[in-house]
Amino acid sequence: MLDRRDFVQQLLADRGDLLVVPGLGSATYDVAAAGDHPLNFYLWGAMGGTAMIALGLALARPDRRVVALPGDGDMLMGLGSLATIGVKQPKNLVVVVLDNAHYGETGMQPSHTEAGIDLAALALACRFRQARSVTRIEETAEVRKLLHSGEGPILINAKIKPDDVPRVLPLRDGHAIKDRFIAALNAL
């Protein structure tokens, strides 16, 4: 299993103009720990909506690469988004699920992935072009290639350790996050 902070740090190193939509809680803390960036669209309390927000960005800006980084609980709550993404077929969208098999924000109860629900198989059933699970840090280089040049939609289910790591809190003002993101996007 992957160390979540090391994986996200390597995934977002030299990210360029990648638009990043981290899910609430730990995913946001991991992205912030990798380095705050004006093209990070942090979500505070939108559980289940991460992939759909990223889809909206991918459809609105087909000239930009977009990555959603939900946790497994977030993705499970928004399973319908996989079907919508499959129908829309955005070539510029990659969903990287940070799957620790637990609901980390509510007390570490086991999630359905702990019981064997396979998010990569669900994505393939929803007509994603590629979907697979990764468990070794050596696989990060290939995932990075997919983020920057793979033809989407793509889902990567990153099996991470269920560690409780220190929180790194980015900007929490939703209006300021939106304004900063739009200004950075318009500057590209």
pLDDT band at 47 (very low <50, low <70, confident <90, very high): confident
Please name the helix (run of DSSP H) or strand (run of DSSP E) that holds residue 178, with its range, or none.
helix 174-186
Question: Which range of residues forms the domain containing residue 177?
Answer: 4-186
What is the distance in angstroms between the CA of the first residue and the CA of the last residue of the chain?
A: 36
For residue 104, give the CATH number of its domain: 3.40.50.970
- CB atoms under 10 Å from CB of 15, counted, come to 19
The pLDDT of residue 108 is 64
Segment 108-128 mean pLDDT: 89
The Cα–Cα gap between 150 and 96 comes to 13
Share in percent of the chain as helix, strand, coil (round to 5): 40, 20, 40
Task: Specify the pLDDT at position 76.
Answer: 94
Full-model pTM: 0.94
Number of domains in the chain: 1
Task: Check pLDDT > 80 for residue 40.
Answer: yes
Contact 18, 54 (CB under 8 A): no
Other beta carbons within 10 Å of 116: 7
Angle (nearest 5°) at CA 45 between 154 and 151: 10
